[in-house]
């Protein structure tokens, strides 16, 4: 959005939009364009009929014998009428098809944008503002709608009309056409001046709209803080400043755009008069005409040329005006398209994993066989280059060995980290914000990839495991709870789409969420909207925990999962969590040391290094950082 918008039409982007459009509807798009051409053609040629009819009128006016004239007029009118009927049919078909094409194209674009977004790595979302991503869907696709449904058909239509009218004109008279072209040059000049000014201000307008929106968003979110600090007047002053800038750009951009119309139309009017006067002169002095038809400026034929020519002048300038009105929206739509394509061209999350997770049965002798049905036992299916396939039972044994990692090159945030978690063990991470606790979990589920070292899951290099299967085997509950629009039940089921209602309820009961859910107006069918804004922070966390519980993964990652639950409720959750954690490998990050005391191993992290490790008792005994932290005598900053 902050990139300077080019004023010129970007043909590369236009080409790509067109290609996408044609490939979406390979039959309908060319067909409807064909209809557009035909309609444009029929609306451009009546001048020919007019000229003929006027000629006939001239011929019979003296005698006043309409019956005789009708014989000559009627065939022409019938021909015109039949062309009109065909044209009406084609317009109807074209506009109906266009409605379908537009909506289909937009939907397709939305869906492919969304699909693409789902495939992007977490890094993309960590490094782009959410508002900017949203604006692809809300603003940029909106401008494309204008392009496809209006600008493109209008361009084709006006182009065809202009060409047809032009040929009819030189069919009638070359000198008059030259006069017209003179006027068109003037119009193009005016369009360029005003169009340029308008584009300049529209770009500024876009920017000040965005700035103002950002400010409003921030203020509305922090409205309570504003009031607590009696900051209302200051906020209003800041707002007034941005509002004034927005007004200024809004006013200028629209002024340029709006003035263009009347100016072009009236240049058209003047041109009309000019041609009328020139035509009159030609008629008066019977100046020899140069034309394809060979018609001359004399008598009846002369006037029958000039009058339709005048009408064509109106039509011609009207269409030039139409084009000039479309330029702005085309430039803006292409800028929008460019941004959309930028997202589409982002590198998707790579996944070379080929080890997959399968249901299995374990025979008494320990041999593992893959099976279709859900057995409650899982195995890693590991195909080898020699064609053999081995199976490894999913146990939840996770090892990180001497791992280094940097989000940005040169800024290493994890140094030489080694973590060993045996199946069923509870591993806790303690440390200040920024010490690298969350980063470790980011590496386990491969939201990010390690720079150096190795990570093994049940002895398999996790880079070899297909990401979706890896993540399926890891349940995560994050500090920031994200719920989705839908019922409570649907939100719990998110953890395991195949779960029955009973299983979801059981999961909720297990983690102690059932209590409050049952007290909701519609119980499990209560609709949640706006990230569960009708629930308290603690209740939302309980739902997130239930969601992870229903997934029933062998390994769980709890990242400050209970930070917003009060200690009383946490005690209830803790009981559920203890049950949930039974037999699973669990990684816990917590601020409250009370919640991690019973971990098998506690890792104390400092600036990306593990500085202490051991059980609670061992660490207390050692009297190091953990001891001082636990007793409140030390702070990890």
Site for another protein in 57-76 (CB under 8 A): 57-58, 60-62, 64-66, 69-70, 73
Q: Is 408 exposed, middle or buried (0-12, 13-18, 19+ CB in 10 A)?
A: exposed
Binding-site residue total for another protein (CB under 8 A)?
169
Q: Report the alpha-carbon angle 495-500-504, nearest 5.
A: 55
Q: How far is the CB of 44 from another protein (least distance, A)?
A: 13
Measured from the CB atom, is 218 or 452 closer to another protein?
Answer: 218
Q: Looking at 208-216, 323-331, 388-396, 456-464, which segment touches another protein (CB under 8 A)?
A: 208-216
| The token pair that represents 129 in the structure block | 């503002």
Residue of 143, 146, 304, 324 interacting with another protein (CB under 8 A):
304
Least distance from C-beta 240 to another protein, angstroms?
Answer: 7
CB of 466 to another protein, least distance (A): 9
CB of 422 to another protein, least distance (A): 19
As measured in angstroms, the least distance from the Cβ of 107 to another protein is: 4
State the Cα–Cα distance between residues 17 and 414, nearest whole angstrom: 44
Which one, 343 or 362, has the nearer CB to another protein? 343
Contact call for residue 447 and another protein (CB under 8 A): yes
Question: Looking at residue 465, what DSSP letter applies?
Answer: B
Question: To 10 degrees, what angle do helices 567-581 and 537-551 make?
Answer: 0
Kindly state whether residue 82 participates in binding another protein, applying the rule CB under 8 A: no
The gap between the terminal CA atoms of the chain, to the nearest Å, is 37
Give 369 or 468: the residue with its C-beta nearer to another protein.
468
* Contact letters for another protein, residues 374-413 (x by CB under 8 A): ----------------------------------------
What is the C-alpha separation between 118 and 480, in angstroms, rounded?
19
SS (H, E, C) 149-164: HHHHHHHHHHHHHHHH
Cα separation, 318 vs 459, whole angstroms: 75
Closest CB to another protein among 59 and 362?
59
Structure-token pair, residue 23: 């490939």
| DSSP secondary structure code for residue 468 in this structure | H
CB of 402 to another protein, least distance (A): 26
Q: Does 102 bind another protein (CB under 8 A)?
A: yes
Would you say 279 or 576 has its CB closer to another protein? 279
Count CB neighbours of 484 within 10 A.
Answer: 12
* Spatial CA neighbour of 580 closest among 604, 544, 615, 607: 544
Q: Which of 430, 475, 459 is nearest to 605 (CA)?
A: 430
3-state secondary structure of 565: coil
Q: Which of 84, 174, 181, 623 binds another protein (CB under 8 A)?
A: 84
Q: Of 557-576, which residues contact another protein (CB under 8 A)?
A: 563, 565-571
279 in Cβ contact with 310 (< 8 Å): yes
Shortest approach of another protein to residue 532 CB, angstroms?
10
Our measurement of the distance from residue 363's CA atom to the centroid of its chain's CA atoms, rounded to an integer in Å, reads 50
Residues 110-129 that bind another protein (CB under 8 A): 110-111, 114-115, 117-119, 122, 125
Instruction: Report the C-alpha gap between 137 and 110 in whole angstroms.
Output: 7
* Residue among 219 and 362 whose Cβ is closer to another protein: 219
Helices (H), 360-473: 437-444, 467-472
Q: Which of residues 272-291 bind another protein (CB under 8 A)?
A: 272-273, 276-277, 279-281, 283-284
Closest separation in Å from C-beta 299 to another protein: 9
- How many CA atoms does the CB half-sphere of 336 hold within 13 Å? 24
Q: Which is nearer to another protein, 9 or 225 (CB)?
A: 225
Nearer to another protein, 369 or 485 (CB): 485
Q: Which of 72, 28, 40 is nearest to 53 (CA)?
A: 72
Output 337 or 556, the one with its CB closest to another protein: 556
- Binding to another protein, residues 571-630 (CB under 8 A): 571, 591-592, 594, 597-598, 616-617, 629
Distance in angstroms (rounded) separating the CA atoms of residues 581 and 481: 20
Residues 475-534 binding another protein (CB under 8 A) are: 475-476, 478, 482-485, 494-495, 497, 529-531, 533
422 phi, psi to nearest 5 deg: -85, 160
| CA 253 – CA 201 distance, rounded (Å) | 5
Cα separation, 95 vs 93, in Å, equals 6
Q: Reduced to 3 states, what is the DSSP secondary structure of residue 394?
A: coil
> What x/- string results for residues 320 through 359 when contact with another protein is judged by CB under 8 A?
----------------------------------------
Q: CB neighbours (10 Å) of residue 615?
A: 15
Which 214-273 positions form the footprint of another protein (CB under 8 A)?
A: 214, 216-218, 220-236, 239-240, 243-244, 246-248, 250-252, 254-255, 257-259, 261-263, 265-267, 269-270, 272-273
Rank residues 115 and 370 by Cβ distance to another protein and give the closer one: 115
The nearest distance, CB 388 to another protein, in angstroms, is: 27
Task: State both tokens at 109.
Answer: 């674009």
Using an 8 Å Cβ cutoff, are 395 and 419 in contact?
no
Nearer to another protein, 395 or 616 (CB): 616
Give the nearer residue to another protein in terms of CB position, either 195 or 279. Answer: 279
Please tell me whether residue 314 binds another protein under the rule CB under 8 A.
yes
Cα 471 → chain centroid:
26
For another protein, which residue of 10, 24, 150, 212 counts as binding (CB under 8 A)? 212
Minimum distance, C-beta of residue 259 to another protein, in the bound complex (Å) = 4
């Amino acid at each position: 959005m902050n990139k300077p918008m080019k004023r010129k039409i970007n043909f590369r982007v236009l080409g790509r939009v067109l290609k996408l459009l044609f490939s979406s509807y390979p039959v309908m798009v060319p067909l409807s364009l064909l209809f557009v051409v035909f309609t444009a053609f029929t609306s451009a040629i009546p001048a020919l009929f007019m000229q003929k009819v006027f000629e006939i009128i001239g011929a019979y006016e003296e005698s006043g014998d309409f019956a005789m004239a009708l014989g000559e007029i009627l065939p022409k009118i019938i021909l015109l009428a039949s062309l009109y009927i065909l044209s009406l049919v084609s317009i109807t078909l074209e506009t109906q098809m266009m409605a379908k094409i537009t909506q289909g194209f937009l939907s397709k674009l939305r869906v492919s944008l969304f699909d693409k977004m789902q495939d992007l790595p977490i890094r993309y979302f960590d490094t782009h503002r959410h508002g900017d991503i949203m604006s692809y869907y809300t603003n940029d696709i909106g401008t494309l709608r204008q392009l496809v449904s209006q600008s493109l058909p209008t361009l084709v239509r006006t182009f065809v009309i202009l060409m047809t009218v032009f040929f009819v004109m030189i069919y009638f008279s070359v000198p008059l056409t030259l006069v017209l072209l003179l006027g068109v040059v003037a119009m193009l000049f005016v369009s360029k001046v005003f169009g340029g000014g308008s584009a300049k201000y529209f770009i500024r307008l876009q920017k000040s709209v965005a700035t103002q929106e950002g400010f409003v968003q921030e203020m509305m979110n922090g409205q309570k803080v504003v009031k607590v600090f009696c900051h209302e007047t200051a906020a209003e002053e800041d707002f007034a400043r941005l509002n004034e800038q927005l007004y200024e750009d809004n006013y200028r951009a629209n002024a340029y755009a709006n003035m263009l119309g009347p100016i072009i139309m009236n240049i058209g009017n003047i041109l009309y008069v000019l041609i009328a006067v020139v035509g009159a002169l030609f008629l008066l002095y019977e100046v020899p005409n140069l034309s394809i038809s060979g018609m001359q400026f004399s008598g009846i034929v002369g006037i029958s040329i000039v009058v339709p020519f005048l009408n064509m002048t109106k039509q011609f300038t009207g269409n030039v005006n139409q084009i000039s009105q479309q330029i702005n929206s085309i430039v803006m739509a292409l800028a929008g398209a460019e941004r959309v394509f930028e997202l589409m061209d982002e590198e998707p999350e790579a996944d070379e994993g080929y080890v997959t997770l399968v249901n299995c049965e374990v025979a008494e002798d320990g041999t593992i066989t893959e099976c279709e049905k859900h057995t409650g036992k899982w195995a890693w299916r590991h195909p080898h280059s020699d064609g053999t396939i081995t199976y490894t039972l999913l146990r939840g044994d996770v090892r990180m060995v001497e791992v280094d990692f940097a989000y940005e090159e040169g800024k290493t945030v994890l140094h030489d980290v080694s973590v060993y978690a045996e199946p069923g063990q509870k591993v806790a991470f303690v440390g200040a914000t920024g010490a690298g606790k969350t980063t470790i979990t980011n590496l386990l589920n491969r939201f990010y990839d390690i720079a150096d070292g190795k990570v093994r899951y049940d002895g398999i290099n996790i880079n070899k495991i297909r990401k979706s299967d890896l993540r399926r085997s890891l349940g995560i509950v994050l500090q920031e709870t994200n719920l989705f629009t839908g019922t409570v039940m649907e939100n719990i089921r998110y953890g395991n789409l195949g779960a029955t209602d009973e299983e979801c309820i059981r999961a909720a009961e297990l983690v102690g969420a059932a209590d409050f859910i049952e007290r909701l107006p519609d119980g499990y069918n209560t609709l949640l909207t706006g990230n569960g804004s009708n629930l308290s922070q603690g209740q939302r966390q309980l739902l997130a925990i239930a969601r992870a519980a229903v997934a029933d993964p062998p390994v769980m990652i709890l990242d400050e999962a209970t930070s917003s639950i009060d200690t009383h409720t946490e005690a209830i959750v803790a009981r559920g969590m203890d049950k949930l954690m039974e037999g699973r490998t669990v990684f816990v990050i917590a601020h409250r040391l009370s919640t991690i005391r019973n971990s098998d191993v506690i890792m104390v992290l400092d600036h990306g290094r593990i500085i202490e490790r051991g059980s609670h008792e061992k660490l207390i005994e050692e009297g190091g950082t953990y001891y001082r932290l636990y007793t409140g005598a030390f702070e990890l900053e």
